[in-house]
Structure 1
Amino acid sequence: MGTPLFAISADSHVTEPGDCYVDRIDPRFRDRAPVAATDPRMGAVMEIDNGRNRIPYGMVAAAGRPPETVGPFEFTDWEQLHPGGWDPAARLAEQDRDGVAAEVIYPSVGMLLCNHPDADYKKACFDAYNLWMAEAFCAHAPDRLIGVGQTALRSVAEGVEDFRRIKELGLRGVMMPGHAAAESEIGDYDNPAWDPLWRAAAELGLPVAFHILTSGNDQIGGAQYRGPKMNSFLGIMRGCQDVIGTMVFGGVFDRVPDLKVVCVEADAGWMPHWMYRADHAVKYHHNWLGDRELARLPSEYVRDHIHLTFQDDAVAFRVADLMDHRRLMWASDHPHSDSTFPHSQDVLAEHTAHLGDDVRDAILWRNCADLYGLSLDGRQAPQAQQAQQGRGTDA
């Protein structure tokens, strides 16, 4: 292997520990707090809302394991999991092993909690998570563990306060629910009633992120897919695409021009065609489909406002010139099952071989550092050389 490439993951995850929620949650919800358990069939799980759901950690934290060992009913004990999912010191060692200098870190349990029907319960869980993330995880190495907070959005005003609290905690962005708790009263995210929230995000310097699997209609193996179950996997980016279209066609960026939106883990190779198709719709079908007047073409809003993260989407690297490459951000997704860990350096060397140094470095680290205000400058070599020794496929 040649010289390691400097890289920051724009999307990685924790696997929340058993004390993440229960020790910090509003006491009114303590008896319903997510808790760690061992299921006789699945092994390590997080139990949600007194067993309403069980999240199999062996499937969630399957990075580096052979595909034939990954599945919701493959028994995985706690000792088989990546300890960096909850232990920040162990996480730094895992970064070094993978040749990653820093990670923007999202929840795992919190992703699925976005789809929980009880808004008050979501609010309590997200507040507890934000405290744990800031105080127990990111504080260990804030220059390498870049935390993103959560909000339930029971109202616009509460969302603004959540954003301010997230900023005060030192977290660098906000993972949004695909559908806000207050959507039934206020309407979707393009409703101007949400504009104070978007202005607050812009003023606080907090990118708002929409992650796959948080919109209810983008669940792997869920009810809303056609054909064989494998077909459901191809639709998981749809929730993020719908949010992008809602905000672009809804004129949000005309009203709040400094807002930054991150489309997380939905790949990026499809975006040039989406931009073309969106422009085509506005040019040829505005008379009967358009209900808003836009100042610019949809593709222009995407180039200026939409950042996209992706793992091993080789197509995204190939079509970077058809987008604004400054909006593309590579991610490892560690420790999830789609992660490139512990082979990220090998994947990046192959997928970026055709790119010039400037474009490559922008996608691998500079765009992420600029978006989140990170001090890493590309001169600090990750420990990838050492990481190459002893690489394996163990969990």
Structure 2
Amino acid sequence: MGTPLFAISADSHVTEPGDCYLDRIDPAFRDRAPVAATDPRMGAVMDIDNGRSRIPYGMVAAAGRPPETVGPFEYTDWDQLHQGGWDPVARLAEQDRDGVAAEVVYPSVGMLLCNHPDADYKKACFDAYNLWMAEEFAGHAPDRLIGMGQTALRSVEEGVDDLARIKELGLRGVMMPGHAACEGEAGDYDDPRWDPLWRAAADLGLPLAFHILTSGNDQLGAQQYRGPKMNSFLGIMRGCQDVIGTMVFGGVFDREPRLKVVCVEADAGWMPHWMYRADHAVRYHGNWLGDRALGRLPSEYIRDHVYLTFQDDAVAFRVTDLMDHRRLMWANDHPHSDSTFPHSQQVLADHTAHLAEDVRDDILWRNCAELYGLSLPHRAPQTGESPARKDVPA
């Protein structure tokens, strides 16, 4: 392999430690806080809400393991997990091993907590997580560990306050629930009652991220998918697609043209066809399907407002000319089972070999650096150069 490619992962994860929630949660919820446990069949797990659900960490932290050893009932002990899932010092070493300069860091347990039915419990868990992420993990190396906060959205007003608090903590963006806790009262995300939240995000410079598996209808093995269980894997991107379509067709970006959103871990190779099909729908069926007057075509909103992260999606690199490549952001998804860790450099060398250097570098690091206002060089550093010479403007 040739010279390593400079890369930032736009979507990586922690495996929340056993005291992540317990030590910081609202005391009223301490007896229900997620806690670490050892299951006789699964090994290392996180117990949610006194056993309401149990998350196998062997599945969450399976990066680099042979596929035949990964499964919900494959016993995985704590010492088999990637220590960088909760230890920031170890995480920096894992970044070096994988050849990435920095990672935008999302939760793991927090992803599935988005689907918990108790809004107050979610709020308590997310507040505790945000403190842990800011104080114990991202705070250790904020230039390399780019922390994302969480909000339950029990109300529009509380969501606005949450965004301000997340910004104060030094976190760089917000992972949104696929469905707000108050959706029934405030409507879906296209409802104008949510406009103060979009305005607050734009004012604060916080990108809003919609991650797979946070919508309830995009779960692996979920019953609503037809046919064999494997078919459910192909549907995990649908939750993100539905959110993006809701915001695009709902005129959200007309009402707040500064808003930036990120479609996370749902791949990107499908987006050119989605854009084409969305424009087709407006042109040919807008007279009976369209219930909002849009200022532009759907594809134009995508090009200006929607970023997409992907890891092992060679197709995305092949269709860069069919969308705005400046909205694509590569990720390693470490330490999840879909991760390219510890072989990211080999994957990237193969997937990007046909690209012009400027397009490649935009996707591998520059787009992410600009979106989150990271202090990184305008071009990838050469051998012997410092990795931080001049800030990229936000």
Q: TM-score range by the shorter chain?
A: over 0.9
SS state at 2:307 partner: strand
- 1:107-157: CA deviations, max 9, x gaps? 000000000000000000000000000000011100000000000000000
State the secondary structure of the residue aligned to 1:307.
strand
Partner of 2:249: 249
Residue matched to 2:136: 136
Contact 1:101–1:382 (8 Å) recurs in 2: no
1:390 counterpart residue number: none
Q: Secondary structure at the match of 2:20?
A: helix
Alpha-carbon distance in 2 for matches of 1:34, 1:382: 45
Matches within 5 A, 1:1-395: 1-377=1-377, 378-380=379-381
Per-residue deviation at 1:10? Answer: 0.1
By how many angstroms is 1:382 displaced? 9.7
What CA distance in whole angstroms lies between the structure 1 residues aligned with 2:381 and 2:63? 25
Q: Give the CA deviation at 1:376.
A: 1.4
Secondary structure of the 1:195 match is helix
**Conservation of the 8 A alpha-carbon contact between 1:208 and 1:262:** yes
Tell me, in whole angstroms, the C-alpha distance in 1 between the residues paired with 2:232 and 2:380.
41
Tell me, what secondary structure is at the counterpart of 1:16? coil
Contact 1:4–1:382 under 8 Å retained in 2: no
Q: SS of 1:19's equivalent? A: coil
- Tell whether the 8 Å contact from 1:6 to 1:382 is kept in structure 2 after alignment: no
1:382 and 1:35 map into 2 onto residues whose CA distance is 44
> How has the CA–CA distance of structure 1 residues 155 and 382 changed in structure 2, closer, same or farther, with 3 Å as cutoff?
farther
After superposition, give the CA deviation of every residue in 1:173-216 in whole Å (9 maximum; x if it has no partner).
00000000010111100000000000000000000000000000
The offset of 1:381, in angstroms, is 6.4
Q: Is the 8 A contact 1:14 1:105 kept in 2?
A: yes
2:278 and 2:117 map into 1 onto residues whose CA distance is: 32
Letter in 2 for 1:37: A
* Distance apart, 1:224 and its partner CA: 1.2
Give the partner amino acid of 1:47. D
Decide whether aligned partners of structure 1 residues 335 and 382 sit closer, same or farther in structure 2, where only a CA change above 3 A counts: farther
Q: Is the 8 A contact 2:361 2:380 kept in 1?
A: no
Query: Quick one: structure 1 residues 381 and 222, their matched pair in 2 at CA, closer, same or farther if it must change by over 3 Å?
Result: farther
Match for 1:261: what amino acid? V
Greater RCO, 1 or 2 (C-alpha within 8 Å, sep 6+)? 1
Alignment correspondent of 2:388: none
Is the 1:6–1:381 contact (alpha carbons within 8 Å) kept by the matching residues of 2? no
Q: What TM-score comes out, normalization by structure 2 length?
A: 0.96
CA 1:153–1:381: 2 relative to 1, 3 Å: farther
Q: CA deviation at 1:287?
A: 0.9
Please tell me the residue identity of whatever aligns with 1:313.
D
8 Å Cα contact 2:10/2:331 also seen in 1? yes
Q: Which runs of 5+ in 1 are unaligned?
A: 384-395
Measured after TM superposition, the shift of residue 380 of structure 1 is 4.4
The separation in 2 between residues aligned to 1:297 and 1:225, in whole angstroms, is 31
- Per-residue Cα deviation, 1:32-57 (whole angstroms, up to 9, x for no partner): 00000000000000000000000000
CA contact (8 A) 1:176 1:208 kept: yes
Checking the alignment, whether the CA contact within 8 Å between 1:45 and 1:56 is kept in structure 2 is: yes
Query: Equivalent residue of 2:128, what SS?
Result: helix
CA contact (8 A) 1:101 1:381 kept: no
| Deviation, structure 1 residue 379 | 4.1
CA distance in 2 between partners of 1:376 and 1:67 (Å): 35
User: 2: distance between equivalents of 1:178 and 1:271?
Assistant: 19
How far apart in 2 are the matches of 1:357 and 1:186? Answer: 45
Task: Report the Cα distance in structure 2 between the residues aligned to 1:138 and 1:123, rounded to whole angstroms.
Answer: 21
Counterpart Cα distance in 1 of 2:284 and 2:225? 30
The CA RMSD over aligned residues, in Å, is 1.0
Q: Report the equivalent of 2:391.
A: none
Identical amino acids, percent of aligned pairs: 87
Report how many residues are paired. 383
